[in-house]
Amino acid sequence: MGYRKHLKNPIITEESDQRKGLPLPPIQKPYTEDAKLVDLVSPDDFTVGNIPLLKAITNRISHRKYTDESLTLEEFSYLLWTTQGVKELAREGRITLRTVPSGGAMHPFETYLVVNRVEGIESGLYRYLAIEHKLLFLKSLDPKEMPEKMGKINNGQTFIGKGSVVFIWSVRPYRTEWRYGEDSFKDILMSVGHICQNLYLACEGINAGTCAIVAYQQKLLDDFIGVDGNDEISLYVAPVGKIKKE
């Protein structure tokens, strides 16, 4: 059971790059000036999701069956904001304070999205730009192909591709390693759990459901979202769709 060592705080033997005075890595993965961006609904204008927290926690379960209903643009914006929204830039813009916690406010994650059914948004693969609260278009996708495609990537779980949206979180490890060095592993895994739990609770506020997925083929998922599997690594998957009212 050698993996158990990762559950413990290591004895740090080297100085972190922060202590060495090396520059802080970018707080968000860059994109080109000519990139296609999609505006989202501002959190100041949200009218959805106003349910008691206790009700959301009590009702939270994993859902694997979704209706064919689309998410509204506001609902989609709300889910993105509640999982990775930037509330404030701090320390001269070097770190972000968000709707979820992260060790040292490093927030090393990127959010990729398979959009199948969202009102007003072309189907395709996107990345959430949390600082701008916008979507970055990456490529077109055919929703009809997503159950088979997601099933192949996620060990036969075709229901994933039937969601209105599929959230895929990646990590850029150096963002956390810069500060915590060898102690980054546990922090990264705990922090991505905070994100997905926010998604579960937020879904309860819009009559939607999700299901956290870690059973996937690493290289296939890395290749699908276009990351190298080293400096950026796919980490967690969660389809979202409307559910039948009981």
Number of alpha carbons in the 13 Å side-chain half-sphere of residue 93: 3
Q: Give the domains, in start order, of the chain with CATH numbers.
A: 35-242 (3.40.109.10)
H or E segment at 148? Answer: helix 146-153
CA atoms within 13 A on the CB side of 188: 26
Q: Which residue has the tokens 């889910």?
A: 79
- Asked if residue 27 has pLDDT above 80, the reply is yes
| CA–CA distances in Å: residue 160 to residues 53, 55, 102, 187, 233 | 26, 26, 27, 27, 20
**Residue 169: HSE in the Cβ half-sphere, 13 Å Cα cutoff:** 26
User: What's the rounded mean pLDDT across residues 185-214?
Assistant: 97
Alpha carbons 62 and 157: distance in angstroms, whole number: 14
End-to-end CA gap in the chain: 44
Percentage with pLDDT > 70 across the chain:
100
Kindly compute the dihedral angle of the four CA atoms of residues 223, 227, 229, 233, in this order, to the nearest 10 degrees: -110
Structure tokens at 164: 């209105």
Element (H, E) at 51: none
Q: How far is CA 28 from CA 10, 24, 41, 49, 127, in A?
A: 28, 11, 20, 27, 11
Tokens of 9: 């705080």
Q: Coil, helix or strand for 221?
A: helix
| 101-107 average pLDDT score | 95
Reported as a pLDDT band with limits 50, 70 and 90, residue 10 is confident
Quickly count: other Cβ atoms within 10 Å of residue 211's Cβ. Answer: 21
Q: Which pLDDT score is estimated for 175?
A: 96
Q: What is the structure's pLDDT at 246?
A: 62
Amino acid (one-letter) located at 160: I
Tally Cβ neighbours within 10 Å of residue 85.
Answer: 21
pLDDT in tens, 47-59: 999 999 999 999 9
Helix (H, G, I), strand (E, B) or coil at 172: coil
Indicate the pLDDT class of residue 106, thresholds 50, 70 and 90: very high
Where residue 242 falls (left for φ over 0; alpha for ψ -120 to 50; beta otherwise) is beta
Instruction: Tell me how far apart the alpha carbons of residues 229 and 225 are, in angstroms, rounded to a whole number.
Output: 10
Q: Is the pLDDT of residue 91 over 90?
A: no
pLDDT (0 to 100) of residue 139: 98
pTM here is 0.96
